[in-house]
Amino acid sequence: AVCSMGNSTSRLYSVLAKTLSSGAVSQHQDCLDQLDSARLDPLDPKDLLEECQIVLQKRPPRFQRSFVNLKKNSASNHRPIRVMQWNILAQALGEGKDNFVQCPMEALKWEERKCLILEEILAYKPDILCLQEVDHYFDTFEPLLSRLGYQCTFFPKPWSPCLDVERNNGPDGCAMFFLKERFELINSANIRLTAMKLKTNQVAIAQTLKCHETGRLFCIAVTHLKARTGWERFRSAQGCDLLQNLKNITQGAKIPLIVCGDFNAEPTEEVYREFSNSSLNLNSAYKLLSPDGQSEPPYTTWKIRPSGECRHTLDYIWYSQHALNVNSALGLLTEEQIGPNRLPSFNYPSDHLSLVCDFSFNQDPDRLL
């Protein structure tokens, strides 16, 4: 693999055009060592976006989505905190296991697909980015996003299904990125979820941050629960374990909380009810897009597999409704935009839609608990 990044704009292209071929995390170390000096060199997001667009010039343009203003009361006295949640689709799974029968293999080429992912992130400029199914953390996301000013954390699954795929890029897992200019890390916890007192293959990251502008503390968490029908009780147990961990971290909701994740659970599942009814007083941000504020979106993932069409709501951004306001949320792609072959596609890099919300702190959170 080529790790040199040079000193001109071409150094960006070398990062975008090359990826490491080694699989194990430890095998990335040589390249990471070489990138240490380059990582310290800040990267202009506009330059990176231009490089992505050069790579993507033969593809259709990115879908346009609009933010929906949700704030009813007066403007807050601080800059909103933008949080982005996204299952980006592990490269090894997309190419080797997921069987998207209507998606051409050419659309899944990592050299271009990673630019679509980066383009989406750069378009929305999140202050905090929560990702699932990340299997190119060490060769793509950490080197690039650290140079964009993000502090980066990765927690792989203990037994990632990516490792079963030939020529994989290592295990997939959850990753969290926050802008160091806006936040200070106070505490970080990597959580291996348990179910029925047994350690499972699913993980979470929970970080307590201090907002430089307001001095307020809050906790941000990212997770990816067990997939597939028939595992509803298992997901419920994982959710209970995560909630208990978060209760301890937030001192029983004294610290505001945002939880991002692919829960692999429809709103009808028990794990959804556990989060809705938790003593942490959580609400699901994307419910606020519905006319009555009570219904989740009709889908956050839409794909076609050999077994048929799969259209589900599985992805959520939960938040402490006593301590935080949702100022706005990014609208979803329409069925017309997604198209008859569904996701992923030449237009969109994942089978899951990204969710983006702008949050502000309530002035008197304790009064509302």
235 falls within a domain: yes
Which residues form the domain of 308? Answer: 80-361
What DSSP letter does each residue of 215-280 carry, written as one string? --EEEEEEEEPPPSTT-HHHHHHHHHHHHHHHHHHTTTTTS-EEEEEE----TTSHHHHHHHT-TT
Domain-located, residue 67? no
Q: Residues 299-353: pLDDT tens digits?
A: 999 999 998 999 999 999 999 999 999 999 999 999 999 999 999 999 999 999 9
Do the domain assignments include residue 137? yes
Q: How far apart are CA 328 and CA 342, in angstroms?
A: 26
User: pTM for this structure?
Assistant: 0.91
Any idea what the CATH number is for the domain that residue 241 is in?
A: 3.60.10.10
Identify whether 44 is part of a domain.
no
60, amino acid identity: P
Judged on CB neighbours under 10 Å (0-12, 13-18, 19+), 193 is: buried
Number of domains in the chain: 1
The per-residue pLDDT for 328 is: 97
Asked whether residue 302 is domain-assigned, the answer is: yes
Handedness of CA 268, 159, 85, 176 (dihedral sign): positive
Per-residue pLDDT reduced to its tens digit, 220-265: 999 999 999 999 999 999 999 999 999 999 999 999 999 999 999 9
What is the Cα–Cα distance from 306 to 102, expressed in whole angstroms? 9
Q: If you ran DSSP here, which 8-state letter would residue 137 be given? A: I
Q: Which positions ≥6 away from 367 have C-beta within 8 Å?
A: none
- Do strands 173-179 and 315-320 pair parallel, antiparallel, or not at all (unpaired)? unpaired
Q: Which amino acid is at 204?
A: A
What is the number of other CB atoms lying within 10 angstroms of the CB of residue 204?
A: 25
Helix axes 10-17, 45-55, angle to 10 degrees: 50
Domain annotation covers residue 53: no
Q: CA 5, CA 212: separation in Å to the nearest integer? A: 32
Q: What is the DSSP letter of 369?
A: -
- In this structure, the strands spanning 355-361 and 128-134 are unpaired
CB 196 within 8 A of CB 174: no
- For residue range 182-233, list pLDDT tens digits in order: 999 999 999 999 998 999 999 999 999 999 999 999 999 999 999 999 999 9
Residue 33 lies in a domain: no
Q: Which residue has the tokens 């299952």?
A: 87
Q: In this structure, is residue 149 part of a structural domain?
A: yes
User: Residue 176: beta bridge partners?
Assistant: 130, 153
Q: What is the pLDDT of residues 85-140, one digit of tens each?
A: 999 999 999 998 788 989 999 999 999 999 999 999 999 999 999 999 999 999 99
Across the range 133-158, mean pLDDT stands at 98
CB 49 within 8 A of CB 119: yes
Q: Which helix (H) or strand (E) holds 195?
A: strand 183-195
- Work out the pLDDT band at 19, boundaries 50, 70, 90: very low
User: Checking phi first, is residue 251 left (phi over 0); if not, alpha (psi -120 to 50) or beta?
Assistant: left
